[in-house]
Structure 1
Amino acid sequence: MLFLRPVEERDLDDLLQMSEEVGTGMTSMPSDLNTWMERVRLSKDTFSNNDETLFSDHGVYFMVAEDSETGHVVGTTAIYVGIGTTTPFYSYKQSLLVKYSETLNKLFEIRVLNLVNDFTRATEIGSLFLREPYRINHTGQFLSRARYLMFADFPKRFSETIIAEMRGWQSKEGHSPFWQALGKKFFDLPFENADRISATHGSQFIQDLMPKYPVYVNLLPKDAAECIGKPHDVSIKAIYMLEKEGFRHDGYVDVFDGGPTVQCHRSLIKSVEEAQPREVVIGEPNDAPRHIISNGNISRYRVTVCAAEVSNTTITLSQEAATVLGVQAGDSVQSIQMVE
């Protein structure tokens, strides 16, 4: 059985191995031991605070998916609580500049990109990765929607604005037209190097080197302009799931690869609206629909997906599922039904 739990130091070997599998473009999964050690430390500090009303400006709830049969970590998912406070969080905001020439009797509409910090103190969901053998039975949906259960469990720990950055489009050879046309001109680095520096040393160098003036899209090569707001092929399914939850793209894109940033008000996320607390009953719900279930215990947080029979007030779980969650009959858990 797969279940999510807070990351621990013992997971570092598995995390580094998965980082190698991710490749470039996912800055939250760096192949760097020191960065991972700091992330584990910060996550443990964030989980250890028992004040459920605390909003941390720089906390992270980093969770790993463990296979209960092997004890190995096979996936990751995370919530970054208040981004852009310890290091700036930059985006390009795409907008329309309209000019009219009376002499020429022409109206000109020009797309421009402005460097902004509009998502400062927003909460970001990210770091969703699953190893290839486990990409079955909608497990990606489980890792994604489990984070929304945490919003329902502890709403005051998070910002009202929730965002997700999607990887920008690249060719099969790893070529990023947006980076080649823009970022590379100012950083003089291969895309993967700039990506790694951002992940391991923060984004201050973006402020130091990126132009502060608007970027006129019509001055970019056609292939770069067409990439603005276009997700990587591997992100298409993820952005579809986000849109079903209510996330929308409002013109914000990543400064490196032009990938879309989507956002939604926390309380309007569909899974947050659907989440409901129920009392645990131990039984054998073998043919029942599968549900994503959280134990609501921040000091020993667990989320799993399993068959469960639900009523308005109760949820019937197997003994195995109850053990994984660390709950017993009479305890309260929160759940949402899987979309099969």
Structure 2
Amino acid sequence: MSFVMRAARANDLQPLYEMAKLTGGGFTNLPPDRNSLTGKLERSDEAFAREGDEIAAETFVLVLENTETGAVRGTCQVFTAVGQEWPFYSYRITTLTQHSQELERTVAAEMLSLTNDLGGCSEVGGLFLHPGERAGGLGMLLARSRYLFIAGHRERFGDRILAELRGIIDERGGSPFWDAIGGKFFRMSFQEADEFNAIHGNQFIADLMPKHPVYIAMLSEDARSVIGLPHPSGRAAMRMLENEGFSYQGYVDIFDGGPTMLAETDKVGAIANAHHGQVESVTLEKGEKALIATGRFADFRCCYGARELRGDSVAIDAQAAELLRVGEGDDVWSIPR
């Protein structure tokens, strides 16, 4: 398979823009706006170029390249610390229990409380695979390459990591959750609010969103029924996150009500189980199917290949070595496929 993950560059703007137009809305981290994407690539370049171990609010953009054609066919992003430049807002589902002695009745009411609890977490997001490539495990390569990037640059990431999944969007491109809450206060459609957030950030939420908890029972049935549910296209992504050790802990997106998945960074499966060692051989003919990565920051590359662990060292196949541009003695990170 001649696909490799690598750091995004400025000349990837056009394919990123073309993919952004295919998302169908709700992808805050991949807006179909050239200026916003240009700014994101510039910030990514700065993050790749920065030296030092301290954690800062940075964005790393990775792309999936077909090395035979040079075409960019997918992308994903890694954020080192959310909520540093502006607050990171979520709704958290909480329960208020009250008891009436006269009625001899206890009532538990679920509420949505606006919170900044997740500020400082790292985040994996912005994942999109071109519809023409949704076969052969490329989605897994996109998703899990991010964890090998984090493993190789662990000092630049927080102790907790989150992933936001897109919520339910109806056939007209609207959100029942937004219509029931945000739309009442902002006089903006879901698409307008989502686009504004993607380009300008979510400070307007702090300015205008009501600060008091919202009783879920007072929402419409359409809105209640989608809280914490991923978009149908994101169900597989949710399962992949759960397999890595992420869990849903009652946090939902303020725009579409989609679930926010959380994990301790060092307990994410692909990070905890990543093998780091020098390449002993690049002529392996048969071995364990694996994701293999190499390179620091802008030199990062990741692909599928075969590996055989040999103590602290590893043997890999010739095609993977060519895609990664590594030879004997070079460092690589790897996990089973």
TM bucket (normalised to shorter chain) is over 0.9
Corresponding letter in the other structure for 2:19:
M
Residue in structure 1 matched with residue 294 of structure 2 by the alignment: 295
Is 1:282–1:322's contact at 8 Å kept on the other side of the alignment?
A: no
1:68-92 per-position Cα deviation (integer Å, ceiling 9, x unaligned) = 0111111011111111111221100
Distance 2:331 2:206 in 1: 47
Corresponding letter in the other structure for 2:320:
A
1:46-95 per-position Cα deviation (integer Å, ceiling 9, x unaligned) = 111232x2211x20111111110111111011111111111221100100
Aligned length: 336
Corresponding letter in the other structure for 1:258:
G
Corresponding letter in the other structure for 1:40:
L
Residue in structure 2 matched with residue 184 of structure 1 by the alignment: 183
Identity of aligned residues (%): 36
> TM-score under structure 2 normalisation?
0.96
Deviation at 1:287, TM superposition (A): 4.2
Is residue 129 from structure 1 mapped to residue 152 from structure 2 by the alignment?
no
Q: Which moved more, 1:272-281 or 1:208-217?
A: 272-281
Distance 2:179 2:60 in 1: 34
Deviation at 1:151, TM superposition (A): 2.0
Residue in structure 1 matched with residue 241 of structure 2 by the alignment: 242
Corresponding letter in the other structure for 2:55:
F
Q: Which moved more, 1:309-318 or 1:130-139?
A: 309-318
Q: Which moved more, 1:318-327 or 1:158-167?
A: 318-327
Corresponding letter in the other structure for 2:54:
L
Deviation at 1:296, TM superposition (A): 3.7
Distance 2:9 2:126 in 1: 16
Q: Which moved more, 1:198-207 or 1:170-179?
A: 170-179
Deviation at 1:315, TM superposition (A): 2.6
Corresponding letter in the other structure for 2:13:
L
Q: Which moved more, 1:211-220 or 1:163-172?
A: 163-172
Is residue 150 from structure 1 mapped to residue 161 from structure 2 by the alignment?
no
Deviation at 1:228, TM superposition (A): 0.8
Deviation at 1:208, TM superposition (A): 1.3
Corresponding letter in the other structure for 1:35:
S
Residue in structure 2 matched with residue 60 of structure 1 by the alignment: 59
Is 1:16–1:33's contact at 8 Å kept on the other side of the alignment?
A: yes
Q: Which runs of no fewer than 5 residues in structure 1 stay unpaired?
A: none
SS at match of 2:161: strand
Distance 1:306 1:68 in 2: 15
Distance 2:246 2:180 in 1: 29
Is residue 280 from structure 1 mapped to residue 279 from structure 2 by the alignment?
yes
Distance 1:61 1:288 in 2: 31
Distance 2:298 2:195 in 1: 32
Q: Which runs of no fewer than 5 residues in structure 2 stay unpaired?
A: none
Q: Which moved more, 1:276-285 or 1:102-111?
A: 276-285
Distance 1:139 1:207 in 2: 38
Residue in structure 2 matched with residue 73 of structure 1 by the alignment: 72
Distance 1:60 1:100 in 2: 48
Residue in structure 1 matched with residue 114 of structure 2 by the alignment: 115
How is 1:301-320 mapped onto 2 (pairs within 5 angstroms)? 301-320=300-319
Is 2:291–2:304's contact at 8 Å kept on the other side of the alignment?
A: yes
How is 1:163-242 mapped onto 2 (pairs within 5 angstroms)? 163-242=162-241
Deviation at 1:309, TM superposition (A): 3.2
Is 1:50–1:298's contact at 8 Å kept on the other side of the alignment?
A: no
Corresponding letter in the other structure for 2:42:
R
Residue in structure 1 matched with residue 324 of structure 2 by the alignment: 325
Residue in structure 1 matched with residue 139 of structure 2 by the alignment: 140
CA RMSD of aligned residues (A): 1.4
Corresponding letter in the other structure for 1:226:
S
Residue in structure 2 matched with residue 38 of structure 1 by the alignment: 39
1:170-189 per-position Cα deviation (integer Å, ceiling 9, x unaligned) = 23443421111111111111
Corresponding letter in the other structure for 1:46:
A
> TM-score under structure 1 normalisation?
0.95
Q: Which moved more, 1:109-118 or 1:183-192?
A: 183-192
Is residue 84 from structure 1 mapped to residue 83 from structure 2 by the alignment?
yes
Corresponding letter in the other structure for 1:19:
A
Is residue 50 from structure 1 mapped to residue 51 from structure 2 by the alignment?
yes
Is 1:46–1:60's contact at 8 Å kept on the other side of the alignment?
A: yes
1:98-142 per-position Cα deviation (integer Å, ceiling 9, x unaligned) = 011112111110000111111111101001111112111211111
Is 1:59–1:81's contact at 8 Å kept on the other side of the alignment?
A: yes
1:259-313 per-position Cα deviation (integer Å, ceiling 9, x unaligned) = 0001000011111111011221444444433211111422411111123333333
Distance 1:102 1:182 in 2: 33
Distance 1:30 1:115 in 2: 24
SS at match of 2:126: strand
Deviation at 1:211, TM superposition (A): 0.6
Deviation at 1:204, TM superposition (A): 0.7
Corresponding letter in the other structure for 1:32:
D
Distance 1:102 1:283 in 2: 75
